[in-house]
Amino acid sequence: MTEEFDYVIVGAGTAGCVLANRLSADGKTRVLLLEAGGSDQIVWIQLPIGYGRTFFDRQINWMYDTQPVPGLGGRESYWPRGKVIGGSGSINAMVHVRGQPHDFEDWAALGNQGWGWDDVLPYFVKAEDHDLGEGRYHGAGGPQHVTEISAKAHPLSRTFIETGKALGLPFAADLNSPNGEGVGIYQINTRHGRRASTANEYLRPALRKGGVTLRTKSHATRILFEGTRATGIAYQRGGKTFEARATREVILSGGSINSPQLLSLSGIGDAAVLKPLGIDVLVDAKAVGRNLQDHLAISYFYKTRVPTLNDELRPLWGKIKAGLHYAWNRGGPLSMSVNQGGGFVRSGPDAPRVNLQLYFSPVSYTQTPLSERKLLNPDPFSAFLLSFNSCRPTSRGHLQITSADPFEYPSIQPNYLSTQLDIDEAIAGNRMLRSIANTAPLSDIITEELVPGAHLQGDEALLEDFRNRADTVYHPSCTCMMGPDPATSVVDARLRVHGVQGLRVVDASVFPTITSGNINAPTVMVAEKGAAMILEDRASHALI
């Protein structure tokens, strides 16, 4: 069976939901949105603190594993990615971070005209319905709500901020302002105590208007072409194969793993990889799946003499109290992420710009393996955690398909810690966490460093600990990177795939370099800007 639409979008994740809304807004345009996963109407998705239960649920999670990583002592890294309406925005920690202005200035400097800070800021603003209200740097009335939790954050988050200030770190009242350097409280994507994913904020209003057809449990297997023009998508649903034709454009929004995988399966990729798998090469695009970047973090755990969120959520009576609070007014700890305090700081006075992201969570999990950690079952004692990651790591990894079977997972090699800069920043970050923990007022409440433990001293020992324990912050990006040169990039500055027509990629895979911080908000921005460019080209009758 073949159906026809104006646009066919692959992936109802963070970007795909935005695109479906914006492209169908005129009430006339027909959009098909294909999603390999199923419904996001699950309590552990919609309840903000419930995301800990989604990391190992194969019903809503691709559950990837990387290849052994040399920089991590040969360990594999587990990569949860959303296989559900809303994509990874349905299983993430909801932290709303734009990144630093220089991130986008770097994008433009790489030859991507129209992607500097002043170019992208209007799209960040357009997306927002922000608690801070409308202003030069924030928006009100946009689709996605941004919640300011400063007044609701755990009191220890303030202790963390005061400690940062005592160390000489700036205080950032708004970590999403252009001058957001310093320590502060993170903003999060919730609305009335419920997850404000793009599925809830963009897609559902579009579905109610009727311009969008959503197909779940629909796994895209191949892009259809007539010559070098993309004309549709072949997909499997319920064991049957279907085709959907696009009269205008095909748009890939599968994310940094699935988008390059689908390009490769469709003959757009490195010929040296595709030919041995029996895939006919349409475009020898060596950059597909290359340039992979991700944030790598480690946590230090501290036992305290004062109550933490552990004391509220561990006992049965605490769970009941938190549940009643949430049921009464959608408030309390169940309505928030556990990532509350944090910030963007320089590792030292010689650092030319922000290079470390900090996290402070008034909760800890040291007595259970990662696969068993539930955010409602923390340690049975008072404790918190401090974490950091390098903002702009320079290590580049890759992924590539190993089979022509679209249901086989690709091989993923993140190449963490493969540059000296990343190693140096790992050492600097370890020092920063220890400095914070050893500074009052935080040091006044700490009774013990649980992990890695005070016995571990010196840069060499702490770097070895970093290699043994550090892991992804779930921010894979750059695998279909944007750039002017088809030899080194996959899409141009209008997100059009080099070498073909009628095909774009709009998701985090097009980032030329990873941004400084959580990547959900920049992905929304890319989708907003991508939708605007698609509509501009349509209005001008430009052929892509």
CATH number of the domain where residue 337 is located: 3.30.410.40
Regarding whether 368 and 312 lie in a shared domain, the answer is yes
For residue 101, is it within any domain? Answer: yes
CA proximity to 15, closest of 290, 202, 262, 161: 202
In angstroms, the CA 299 to CA 429 distance is 11
Provide the domain count of the chain: 2
Regarding whether 441 and 328 lie in a shared domain, the answer is yes
User: For residue 122, is the peptide bond before it cis, meaning its omega torsion is within 30 degrees of 0?
Assistant: no
Which one is catalytic: 145, 475, 498, 541? 475
Regarding whether 166 and 217 lie in a shared domain, the answer is no
Regarding whether 530 and 513 lie in a shared domain, the answer is yes
Regarding whether 227 and 175 lie in a shared domain, the answer is no
The answer to whether 475 is a known catalytic residue is yes
Measured CA distances, 410 to 76, 347, 460 (Å): 14, 35, 34
Regarding whether 279 and 154 lie in a shared domain, the answer is no
Q: 324-374, pLDDT tens digit by residue?
A: 888 888 888 888 888 899 999 999 999 999 999 999 999 999 876 655 545
- The confidence score (pLDDT) of residue 376 equals 62
In angstroms, the CA 342 to CA 346 distance is 13
- The confidence score (pLDDT) of residue 322 equals 82
- The confidence score (pLDDT) of residue 375 equals 58
For residue 142, is it within any domain? Answer: no
Q: Which two tokens stand for residue 487?
A: 């030899």
- The confidence score (pLDDT) of residue 332 equals 87
Regarding whether 208 and 333 lie in a shared domain, the answer is no
- The confidence score (pLDDT) of residue 51 equals 83
Fill in the DSSP letter of residue 203.
I
Radius of gyration (Cα) for the chain, nearest Å? 23
Regarding whether 327 and 401 lie in a shared domain, the answer is no
CA proximity to 302, closest of 219, 415, 384: 384
- The confidence score (pLDDT) of residue 501 equals 98
pTM: predicted TM-score of the whole model, two decimal places: 0.97
Regarding whether 493 and 441 lie in a shared domain, the answer is no
For residue 191, is it within any domain? Answer: no
- The confidence score (pLDDT) of residue 316 equals 84
Q: How many helices (H) does the chain have, and how many strands (E)?
A: 15, 26
Q: Which two tokens stand for residue 459?
A: 């840069």
In angstroms, the CA 232 to CA 230 distance is 6
- The confidence score (pLDDT) of residue 2 equals 80
- The confidence score (pLDDT) of residue 109 equals 98
For residue 141, is it within any domain? Answer: no
CATH number where 80 lies: 3.50.50.60
In angstroms, the CA 213 to CA 86 distance is 15
Q: 460-490, pLDDT tens digit by residue?
A: 999 999 999 999 999 999 999 999 999 999 9
For residue 335, is it within any domain? Answer: yes
- The confidence score (pLDDT) of residue 544 equals 56
- The confidence score (pLDDT) of residue 202 equals 98
Q: Which two tokens stand for residue 285?
A: 């695009």
In angstroms, the CA 280 to CA 10 distance is 22
Residues 6+ apart with CB under 8 A from 60: 37, 38, 40, 42, 45, 54, 82, 83, 84, 90, 91
Regarding whether 66 and 209 lie in a shared domain, the answer is yes
Regarding whether 76 and 35 lie in a shared domain, the answer is yes
For residue 143, is it within any domain? Answer: no
In angstroms, the CA 256 to CA 480 distance is 7
Regarding whether 73 and 58 lie in a shared domain, the answer is yes
- The confidence score (pLDDT) of residue 370 equals 58
- The confidence score (pLDDT) of residue 368 equals 66
CA proximity to 98, closest of 76, 121, 131, 82: 121
Q: Are 213 and 32 in contact (CB under 8 A)?
A: yes
Task: Identify the segments of the chain with pLDDT beneath 50.
Answer: 373
What is the domain extent for residue 6? 1-113+196-293+394-416+474-544
For residue 425, is it within any domain? Answer: no
In angstroms, the CA 423 to CA 462 distance is 11
For residue 443, is it within any domain? Answer: yes
Q: Are 262 and 404 in contact (CB under 8 A)?
A: no
Alpha carbon distance, N-terminus to C-terminus of the chain: 27
